[in-house]
Structure 1
Amino acid sequence: MIRVPPSPSGRGASALSDILMSTQSRNRSFKDAFLSPGLGLKAAVLVLLTALVAAPLLKVFGATLAPGAWSAWSDVLASNLSRNLFWLPLANTMILGAGVATGCVLVGGFLAWLVVMTDVPFRRTIGLLATLPFMIPSFATALAWGSLFRNARVGGQIGFLEGLGFSVPDWLAWGMVPTLVVLMAHYYSLAFTVIAAALATVNSDLVEAAQMTGAGRRRIFLGIVLPVALPALVAGASLTFAGAVSNFAAPALLGLPVRMQTLATRLYGMIEIGQAERGYVLAILLILVSAFFLWAGNRVISGRRSYATITGKGGRSKRFALGTARLPLFVAAASICVLTTVVPVVILIASSLAPSSSALFSDWSLHYWIGASDPAIARGQAGIWNNPLILSATGVTVGLGVTVAFSASLVGLLVAFVLARSRSGFLSAAINQISFLPLLVPGIAFGAAYVALLGAPIGPLPALYGTFLLLVIAATAYLVPFAVQTGRAVIQQVSGDLDESARMTGAGFLRRLFAITVPLAIRGLSAGALIVFVKIVRDLSLVVLLFTPTMPLLSVLAYRYASDGFTQFANALTVVVLVISVAATLFANRLQAKSQPWLQS
């Protein structure tokens, strides 16, 4: 009991009242801080992201430190096996990464310069075509390359050129060179998009001022254009490097037949033959390699001087006249675009109709599409639309795409809402970092992480390997960054005042989210969902380790058919995946209606 000395003026009673009110206020503040809806939502989102993203990666690392698993590290890094297990695949991976990054920056930068800064003819068409190759799965381009250049070194069908009588050398048919070319053809769109956006910010007044002082084209390029585009060049190189080192499809189709291994293919092989611990070690090392170069690229960008090119004064758009070089440069640009977009699709369609790759444009037949089983053709394989396994795979693939589009968009919406409405604080920072962590993790390594986490029972929970649920959870976690990015872009356009007004009237979080935010942002959210749909439908790296005969997917079946020598079936399946991907991507772009400065006059 608190005794208050008597006071004629009542100051003791007043002091007691102040103490009690202060204590109650502190209790309310404590309660509000830890039980407020905003903090509760942050905590729930953080727990969800930790379970989806961080837990699988921690499980992989923990699996390599378990009793009896330590030897996997020494086997991979310092044993008689390490040369073939790690060092040679690492060298091949680094060559691919560096070569693809260099080639993509050169090709993408060249096309971006033409489209944005010159008077090249049909620049809008070139700009559109330059963005399409990334829509085409890398395994589609690899299959098209094989249909053209495959020789008889590994047996099976020969390609179109060898069928015409040309002798295709081994270095052009298999191994490092074709893998490099295919990956450059697939990833240069990334570099083009990033660099074109940067070049579009170059103020023509700066260029004109330099010209008036007598500066030549070389000096203008090195002194004005290159510094402005440098961050985009580094970003493009980092993104394409990371994509190349983590790509599984192209090295598997063009390198494995001649025993050219990368970290991604070696990781797949280790887990396929039951050496999971070694595979997990390779997964960790692959993550570190990819993450290091992305981090290094960000450091280069963040550590450079700032070159401000956008001011309050409007800049005029002026394009350099190419003069006599206008037509040759257009032919060069058009050739690159056609060879990387139109030609692969034409070859895939022709190969799915021709009896053999050596005769692509003769004796076409729809057997490989709708034909019944015939022992005289393809060892009795029925056409893809008469094959129950392929029909099942089509349903599973589309169902997976729709389910993941919804689940990833929902998770991305929650994360984006938290980050858009509350950017400060430890929890917000942790949510932001974890939500974008999958961008640093190659798809095949992420798939391995989920095999480690959910491939075996966890307490009373059964193993999920071979189930549709595992595919959904893994794909949702892997594609969360894309959904978050789209969600943030659209939610930030919805004023927070609307949400605050609804909250003051007593509306709960879910009511505010689905009655106000979602309807206003539905167009952008739908576009983001379509992008997620496309990515999972055409993905091979993530799902190749999660594939089982009971849960087939089109991309993995296409890879399996190609590996087994059924080229026509593989190409037909790839055309199906391609049609779905391109149609959904174009629809997503239409919904987003993003302005592309290099396509505007």
Structure 2
Amino acid sequence: MAVMTETEPPPPPPIRGRTLYRLRVLRHDPTALLGLVLVVVLAYLVVAPLVAVLSDAFRLQYGDEAHAGQAPGEWTGYYLWRVFRSPVSRLLFWEPLLNTLVVAAGTTLFALVLGGGMAWLVTRTDVPGRRWLAGALVVPYMLPSWTFSLAWLSLFKNERAGGQVGFLEAQGVRTPDWLAYGALPIIVTLGLHYYPFVLLLVGNALRRIDAQLEDSARILGAPRRTVVRRIVVPLMLPALSSAVLLVIGRVLGTFGTPYVLGLPADYRVLSTGLFQSIRDRSTGVASVLATVIVIIGVLVVFMDMRLMREHRRFVTVGGKGAMDRLGRLRRLRRPAFALALLVFVVSVLVPVLTLLLSTITRTPLDLSTFTLDYWLAERLPGAVGFPHGVLRGHELWEAAWNSLRVVGLASVVCAVAGLLVGYVVVRGTAPRVAGFLRQVSFLPYLVPGIAFAAASLSLFAVARGPVPALYGTTFLLILVMAVTHLPYSSRSGIAAMTQLGREPEEAAQVAGASWWQRMRRIIFPIQKGALVTGIVLPFVSGLKELSIVVMLATTGTQLLTTLSIGLVDYGYTQLANAVVLMIALLSFTMTTLTQRLTRTSLASGIGG
């Protein structure tokens, strides 16, 4: 009779043997190690700045001991009291908050009416030149946002701000303060910049609506007003809500326009109030304001994500031919085209030509005073901080070189990091690491640019441990700009890696290729399109970026955007306009090249 005996498990391999085995695995497939490195880097560059700015809001800063009655570094509620409850809280927070809400609401309404109307014309009617209009009406977003505000000053500036007055004042027409500065010009100029958002979102949604639904309702006797109210508007709600929230989120973090048009009338919004607090070295107050902006930005994006999940309730099924059916304007075709052309002229040609003419005339827009001094003069009479034309001297060229160098390097870092994040998320075997990278790489999208810049300044302004103080260095600008654009490149990288099967990489691994060889000769070449997109799109956005860099750039790291704002501060309007024209030219050129390289269009999906 056989006797069953319990077999003992084999002894575990020696610790040294297990270590060598894991090292060999990591050498051939270091995805796990790469994931851990990315977790540490993103935690420090994305999460740590937000933690630092929150900490500064509750720790007493040097110089405030006498007011708070505490020692520096102690936990305190002084800054919360000062921002929300003190006698100066109205100036520090409540008035800027109200102004921000007014500007956000007005800009959103303006952009909805203008962008929604143009989207309807381009997508649902037979207006002449639909394809051209679809591309032309997106051009305002290629321009820096404060292009419109500087053009507005060139037309309406009065004597309140000092310096040379605008065209109307020069012609003897008195322009009141409410027309020259404050809420109305900020709303109009921001609305002209952001209405392409609405045009793109609403236009694409309109194209997806099956026109057979409207035809069926009309056959059943429903009047046009009922069809619009009961069918079109409900189906458009997701796109409209996304457009509203995106515009609000953008306005919340916009700095240039409220600064240019609000400062002369002391009209502050949260972004300019935050900048002023940092300029006044009120670090604690600035930290509280930055935290408030972050919270509002997060709430706005979460609302948008929640509404995006509701899209499933608004799905229709129909044939593409039905969706492409256009309404006939008949005798209104030419007036409709004239209206769309007028929008293009007002939002593109008028601002650009106004800025151009202001730089070649001594008296604003008066061609009889034609001059090229603001471009070419070796010496400008009365100018101190910038005593020559913009093409003379070294300031413009140094700022242009800094912009191209900083934005270019940041774009490359952003694209490579985004693809590596996508590689780890898709190829990695650690769900927690993948989930962390997916969420943290998207986190900068939730934070308005100026608030994230304030958070980064809070972390990197002083040395912390082995990391030296980085404020005033080009390295800090590259890091912050790369991180703020990471949400776009990481999402692009995740999507690209999801579409790429494992077979090419596994075949190379069987053939003995190392991980670096597989990345260099398989992954990067195959994902060339995602890399190009991840480089060029952040580059275009970074060229005209101001909110992120305005608090991080110094005299030694001057960029084109900060140079133009500096000239506005000096009161050299024509010189500032010339620099903005250079930025607009670079931005438009790079956007056009991007669309040609990627064979895409900002207006793809609308306009036929």
Q: Does 2:575 align with 1:562?
A: no
Which deviates further from its counterpart, 120-129 or 205-214? 205-214
Is the 1:393–1:552 contact (alpha carbons within 8 Å) kept by the matching residues of 2? yes
Is the 1:127–1:598 contact (alpha carbons within 8 Å) kept by the matching residues of 2? no
Q: Does 2:305 align with 1:298?
A: yes
Q: Return the letter of the residue paired with 2:563.
A: L
Q: Does 2:208 align with 1:201?
A: yes
Which deviates further from its counterpart, 292-301 or 363-372? 292-301
Q: Does 2:2 align with 1:9?
A: yes
- 1: CA distance, partners of 2:429 / 2:174: 61
Is the 1:490–1:525 contact (alpha carbons within 8 Å) kept by the matching residues of 2? no
Deviations 1:422-456 (A, max 9, x none): 59822222211111111111111111111111111
- 2: CA distance, partners of 1:316 / 1:91: 42
Q: What's 1:236 paired with?
A: 243
Q: 1:339 to 1:491 in 2, by over 3 A?
A: farther
Q: Does 2:65 align with 1:59?
A: no
- 1: CA distance, partners of 2:308 / 2:466: 48
Which deviates further from its counterpart, 225-234 or 203-212? 203-212
Deviations 1:69-88 (A, max 9, x none): 53112111111111110000
Quote how far apart the aligned CAs of 1:162 are. Answer: 2.2
Q: Does 2:85 align with 1:78?
A: yes
Counterpart of 2:516 (choices 510, 519, 524) is 510
- 2: CA distance, partners of 1:216 / 1:324: 22
SS in 2 for 1:587: helix
Q: What's 2:389 paired with?
A: 383
Q: 1:345 to 1:490 in 2, by over 3 A?
A: farther
Q: What's 1:551 paired with?
A: 557
Q: 1:200 to 1:39 in 2, by over 3 A?
A: same
Which deviates further from its counterpart, 309-318 or 338-347? 309-318
Computed over aligned residues only, the root mean square deviation of the Cα atoms, in angstroms, reads 2.6
Quote how far apart the aligned CAs of 1:97 are. Answer: 1.2
Q: 1:263 to 1:374 in 2, by over 3 A?
A: closer
Is the 2:146–2:256 contact (alpha carbons within 8 Å) kept by the matching residues of 1? yes
Which deviates further from its counterpart, 502-511 or 561-570? 502-511
- 1: CA distance, partners of 2:517 / 2:319: 41
Q: Return the letter of the residue paired with 2:42.
A: L
Counterpart of 2:535 (choices 523, 529, 533) is 529
- 2: CA distance, partners of 1:253 / 1:49: 34
Output aligned runs, 1:413-428, within 5 Å: 413-421=419-427, 425-428=431-434
Q: What's 2:62 paired with?
A: none
Q: What's 1:275 paired with?
A: 282
Is the 2:209–2:323 contact (alpha carbons within 8 Å) kept by the matching residues of 1? no
- 2: CA distance, partners of 1:231 / 1:145: 34
Q: What's 1:451 paired with?
A: 457
Q: What's 1:594 paired with?
A: 600
Is the 1:373–1:380 contact (alpha carbons within 8 Å) kept by the matching residues of 2? no
Q: 1:20 to 1:557 in 2, by over 3 A?
A: same
Quote how far apart the aligned CAs of 1:214 are. Answer: 2.5
Counterpart of 1:355 (choices 342, 353, 362) is 362
Quote how far apart the aligned CAs of 1:22 are. Answer: 13
- 1: CA distance, partners of 2:507 / 2:317: 36
TM-score scaled by structure 2? 0.90
What is the aligned residue count?
587
SS in 2 for 1:395: helix
Q: Does 2:469 align with 1:463?
A: yes
Q: What's 2:175 paired with?
A: 168
Counterpart of 1:187 (choices 188, 194, 201) is 194
SS in 2 for 1:79: coil
- 2: CA distance, partners of 1:474 / 1:294: 21
Quote how far apart the aligned CAs of 1:492 are. Answer: 4.0
Deviations 1:493-549 (A, max 9, x none): 433322233234343333222211221222342133111112111111111101211
Q: What's 1:141 paired with?
A: 148
Q: What's 1:157 paired with?
A: 164
Quote how far apart the aligned CAs of 1:189 are. Answer: 1.0
Is the 1:115–1:598 contact (alpha carbons within 8 Å) kept by the matching residues of 2? no
Output aligned runs, 1:122-133, within 5 Å: 122-133=129-140
- 1: CA distance, partners of 2:306 / 2:284: 33
Quote how far apart the aligned CAs of 1:250 are. Answer: 0.6
Counterpart of 2:258 (choices 247, 251, 259) is 251
Counterpart of 1:109 (choices 98, 116, 135) is 116
Is the 1:46–1:431 contact (alpha carbons within 8 Å) kept by the matching residues of 2? yes
Q: What's 1:408 paired with?
A: 414
Is the 2:385–2:570 contact (alpha carbons within 8 Å) kept by the matching residues of 1? no
Is the 2:540–2:590 contact (alpha carbons within 8 Å) kept by the matching residues of 1? yes
Quote how far apart the aligned CAs of 1:354 are. Answer: 1.5
Is the 1:369–1:383 contact (alpha carbons within 8 Å) kept by the matching residues of 2? yes
- 2: CA distance, partners of 1:419 / 1:386: 50
Quote how far apart the aligned CAs of 1:567 are. Answer: 0.7
SS in 1 for 2:137: helix
Q: What's 1:42 paired with?
A: 35
- 1: CA distance, partners of 2:320 / 2:367: 57
Quote how far apart the aligned CAs of 1:474 are. Answer: 1.0
Is the 1:46–1:430 contact (alpha carbons within 8 Å) kept by the matching residues of 2? yes
Is the 1:423–1:429 contact (alpha carbons within 8 Å) kept by the matching residues of 2? no
Q: What's 2:586 paired with?
A: 580
Deviations 1:467-509 (A, max 9, x none): 1111111111111112223334444443332223323434333
Is the 2:160–2:264 contact (alpha carbons within 8 Å) kept by the matching residues of 1? no
Quote how far apart the aligned CAs of 1:173 are. Answer: 0.6
Quote how far apart the aligned CAs of 1:360 are. Answer: 4.4
Quote how far apart the aligned CAs of 1:200 are. Answer: 1.4
Deviations 1:390-426 (A, max 9, x none): 2211111111111111111111111122334459822
Q: What's 1:3 paired with?
A: none
Q: 1:316 to 1:47 in 2, by over 3 A?
A: same
Q: Return the letter of the residue paired with 1:291.
A: V
Which deviates further from its counterpart, 245-254 or 491-500? 491-500
Quote how far apart the aligned CAs of 1:379 are. Answer: 7.8
Q: Does 2:267 align with 1:260?
A: yes
Is the 2:97–2:270 contact (alpha carbons within 8 Å) kept by the matching residues of 1? yes
Counterpart of 1:327 (choices 319, 323, 334) is 334
Quote how far apart the aligned CAs of 1:166 are. Answer: 2.3
Q: 1:355 to 1:194 in 2, by over 3 A?
A: same
Q: What's 2:401 paired with?
A: 395
Q: Does 2:434 align with 1:441?
A: no
- 2: CA distance, partners of 1:379 / 1:363: 24
Is the 1:144–1:348 contact (alpha carbons within 8 Å) kept by the matching residues of 2? yes
Q: Return the letter of the residue paired with 2:246.
A: L
Q: Return the letter of the residue paired with 2:455.
A: A
Q: Return the letter of the residue paired with 1:404.
A: A
- 2: CA distance, partners of 1:500 / 1:365: 66
Quote how far apart the aligned CAs of 1:46 are. Answer: 1.9
Deviations 1:95-148 (A, max 9, x none): 111221222122211111111111111111221122111111111111111101
Is the 2:35–2:433 contact (alpha carbons within 8 Å) kept by the matching residues of 1? yes
Q: 1:593 to 1:223 in 2, by over 3 A?
A: farther
SS in 2 for 1:550: helix
Quote how far apart the aligned CAs of 1:207 are. Answer: 2.6
Is the 2:122–2:607 contact (alpha carbons within 8 Å) kept by the matching residues of 1? no
Deviations 1:252-292 (A, max 9, x none): 00001110011100100011111111111100001111221
Q: 1:360 to 1:297 in 2, by over 3 A?
A: farther
Q: 1:429 to 1:423 in 2, by over 3 A?
A: farther
